Structures are given as structure tokens and as C-alpha cells.
Amino acid sequence: MIATSWIQFMIHDWIDHLEDTQQVELRAPHEIASACPLKSFKFFKTKRISTGEPDMKFGFLNTRTPWWDGSVIYGNNEEGMRRVRAFKEGKLRIGGDGLLEHDEKWIPISGDVRNCWAGFSLLQALFVREHNAVCDMLKEHYPDLDDEKLYRYARLVTSAVIAKIHTIDWTVELLKTDTLLAGMRVNWYGLLGKRFKDLFGHICGPVLSGLVGLRKPNDHGVPYSLTEEFSSVYKMHSLLPDKVILRDITNSTNPNYECPPVSQEVPMTEMTGKEGERRMSKIDMEQMLVSMGHQASGAVTLWNYPSWMRNLIPHDINGEEVPDPVDMAALEIYRDRERGVARYNEFRRNLLMIPISKWEDLTDDCEIIEALSEVYGEDVEKLDLLVGLQAEKKIEGFAISETAFFIFLLIASRRLEADRFFTTNFNPKTYTEKGLEWVNKTETLKDVIDRHFPDMTAKWMRCSSAFSVWSAPPDKTNYIPLYLIPAT
């Protein structure tokens, strides 16, 4: 569940479409209405803007910054950035219990507060603590730095740590093959590897020394942005469960890293929004981390969509509840169609992949084939992208489809090589010598957790990555990878 929380943590750093003032309504057809939690629901259309380009007449605005700048904890505009700062020694505001502070309405004080849940705000709090720890380190080594400079250096360092974890830790757990492990480390370190780069720096070009540290950004002639295709393939709500399993970690010893006993099962509806923030305030931060570390993510597959998200109360950008609940499963299909994202077959053609000509090309699951035929007839060109991505046969070790993987790989590389803070300015002058050392020594999310909760990681974490299931038994024959366990 830490892996699931992480990707929401990242999406809240990257993407949120600006909405229009026009509200629309979706109604369930009579023949299926009885199976829908909501017979109809209302929401705001995505706001279109004119691009002035003849081959692309309209586009959409993003209210979040698409760069890897930690805006999920720092904010997306000046007002938001000022709101989260303590204005003392460069630090961010954090509660005495180590969790996020809240305003009088129980909305968290953080960079992004829309559609949050307890696992997501837990990671926000963890990286506020990380930022503040970087401030303490910088203050110790550079005592003359004032509040503003400490804040700016610590933000660069913390944002780079987040980017690095996503690149070489989270991604290789989601796409768990030796090839991807090597490939994502090449993105960061190059073929010559970390030891060579630590000793000699970036001296051999992107292939041998990696994308991070290039002498200048490379946008391949196209200004960097996140695309609608990227937004579409990151719709992975099937990773979320219908309930959070809290564990009892009060045992004084745990020599075998055994999974702690269940203390409570909490419906996800009680872990979201303001109610989730109140619930989280009563749960020890270590207990929440251990609990999520021992709960597997759901499979990104058909018929595994969280039921509670089909009658979901969404939030506006200020964290306030919106009056009209939505069926997220239906809304996600609508959004792709509304924003002009290609259907599954055309999407594959655009990526120079082979399209399907019949349902059997997509899957060998007879039940899925029957359902697709019922919905789309035999016209495979009508297949919606999200449905196709979840029905598609998976490569062994992949939690996502090969089609989605193409987009993951392309944007993961572009996001690093187009950013001056990971290329031209990835140096001691920009980050400080000790700040850059902090980034270079951090390899995984486990390193960050261990920095703040060393006793907890020593007791409960057997595995090398916080994104793995934490208590894999010594005999791996019965171990079920995180991507094979259904949510419901």
C-alpha cells in the first residue's frame, strides 16, 4: 500500500486539469442502472483553451506544476508556498506528532489537499520531515545561510530525492524485471554505474553517465509538458483497496520480521478527506507505515475497481467537499473521451505498436472476451483505452500493461533530461556540496523511512524496498508479489 500511496503522492505533484464552470450529468442506461451505485452524477467539464495551432485546435491547462519540484508538499503557487512554511531556519510546518498540521476545518496544511486520504497525507508528512532534516543538516554545515536560502536549498534536495526514489525504486518495483532494474538505474547513473559516477562525475554522455547531470537540458525540440496520454495511463485506482488493515505493532521484539497481527480493519471511506485526517491523527505514524507495508496493492485489472470510489465525494482545490458525489470508474472513461485521448487501438498505432484485430489478441480470458463483445460488439476500434490497458495480458513481473509502459518510459526520461535542475544545475553550486551528497547517498524510500524511524525499520522491514511487501517469508515459494493480489 506504500507503493499505491506513492503514486498518488506523485500525481498530486504533477497533474490536475483546470475545470470549466459548465456542469454536465451522466446517467446510467436503464438496463444497467440497478448495478450502479449512482444512477446519475454531475461534475464540471474540463476547461478547454485555444492553442492557436492549426493541427491542434485546443488543449487543457494544468493547475499543478508538471516538473519534479515537490509541489505536492511545497504548493503550486505563491500563496500555497507561503502557507506551508514555518519561516524559521528554512523549515516547513509540521505537527508535534510528526503528522501534518490542520486548519480549523481539519484540512491539512500541505502543498496539495485535493482528494487526499490518510496514506497520501502520511507521505506528505514524511517528506516535510525530510525537508526539515535537510534544513538541520545544511544549518550545521553552512551556519551563515538565512531562512530563505535554507528553504530553497532544502527544497531542491528533497525534490531530487523524490525524483530519484520514483525513478530507481518505485518504478522497478512496479515493473519487476532485471531489465527494468538495469534500465532505470541507467537513466540515473548511466551504464558505467553509480560508483563510476560518484568518483568521476558526468563525463561520458547520457548513455554511459545517465541523464542526470547532463551539461544542458534536452527537450528534443518539444517544450516539456505532461501529455494527456500520460495522464490517462496513470489512472490506476485499482491499486486501492476497499479497506485499510491496521496492524498491532506493540510487540517489543520481532526477530523474524513476521507480519504483525491485525488490530482493526477500517473502510477506506473513513480514511479519506477530513474524516481520514481525523482518523490518522489517532494512529501512530509508525503503525500506519507498518500497516501499509504489510498490505499488498490491488491488481490493475478489470473487475477490481474499488467499490467505494463509485460513490465518491470529491474535493475542490482547497480541500473542501464538493456537493455531488461521482462514480470515478465511469468518470475516468468520460475524461479520456472528453480530452480527445485515442482509443486503445489507435493509441497503440500512435506508439508504433501492433493493434489488435480481435478480442483474442488482447486476452485469453474467455469471461473478459465475452464482456468486451457485449459492450463493444466486434468493433475493436471502439475499445476505450483504460479498459484495454486493464484487460491486456501482462508481461511477467509487470503490474501494468506493456502499452502503458511505453508512456511511462518515455516521460520518465523526458522529465529528467528536460529539467535544468537535473542537468545543467545538478551540481554542488546549486544544491550545495552537502545537499548533493544527501541526494547521492539516498537510493530508496527505505533510506528515507530509516532516517526518521530507524527502530521501526530494524524491527519490521526485511526487504530492501519500502514498496515491496515487508514480510516476505524466507521460503519464497509461497510469496505472492504485490501486483497479483486483488483489492476486493
Report d(CA 353, CA 346) in Å as an integer: 9
Known catalytic residue at 234 = yes
Query: Which residues are CB-contacts of 323 (< 8 A; sequence separation ≥ 6)?
Result: none
Find out whether 239 and 298 touch, Cβ atoms under 8 Å: yes
In terms of Cβ atoms closer than 10 Å to its own Cβ (0-12, 13-18, 19+), residue 85 is middle
Binding residues for heme b: 237
In this structure, the number of other CB atoms found within 10 A of the CB of residue 55 comes to 5
Report d(CA 299, CA 389) in Å as an integer: 12
Give the mean pLDDT of the chain: 91
- pLDDT at residue 181, as a whole number: 83
Burial 218-255 (b: 16+ CB within 10 A, else e): beeeeebebebbbbbbbbbbbbbbebbbbbebeeeeee
Structure-model confidence comparison of residues 485 and 73, the more confident one? 73
Report d(CA 157, CA 90) in Å as an integer: 13
Pairing between β-strand 56-60 and β-strand 243-247 as defined by DSSP bridges:
unpaired
Average pLDDT over residues 46-61: 85
Report d(CA 354, CA 327) in Å as an integer: 32
pLDDT in tens, 433-462: 999 999 999 999 999 999 999 999 999 988
- pLDDT at residue 57, as a whole number: 77
- pLDDT at residue 442, as a whole number: 97
HSE of 350 in the Cβ direction (CA atoms, 13 Å)?
13
Given the candidates 1.10.1470.10, 1.10.640.10, 1.10.10.10, 1.10.10.60, the CATH classification of the domain at 2-174+216-327+425-484 is 1.10.640.10
Pairing between β-strand 40-46 and β-strand 262-267 as defined by DSSP bridges:
unpaired
Average pLDDT over residues 159-180: 91
User: CA dist 158 to 70, 133, 152, Å?
Assistant: 7, 10, 10
pLDDT in tens, 195-253: 888 887 888 788 788 889 999 999 999 889 899 999 999 999 999 999 999 999 987 67
pLDDT in tens, 462-473: 888 999 888 754
- pLDDT at residue 477, as a whole number: 41
In terms of Cβ atoms closer than 10 Å to its own Cβ (0-12, 13-18, 19+), residue 207 is exposed
- pLDDT at residue 7, as a whole number: 95
Local structure of residue 52 (DSSP, 8 states): E
**Given 74, 151, 189, 234, which residue is catalytic?**
234
In terms of Cβ atoms closer than 10 Å to its own Cβ (0-12, 13-18, 19+), residue 270 is middle
Cell numbers at residue 261, please?
497481527
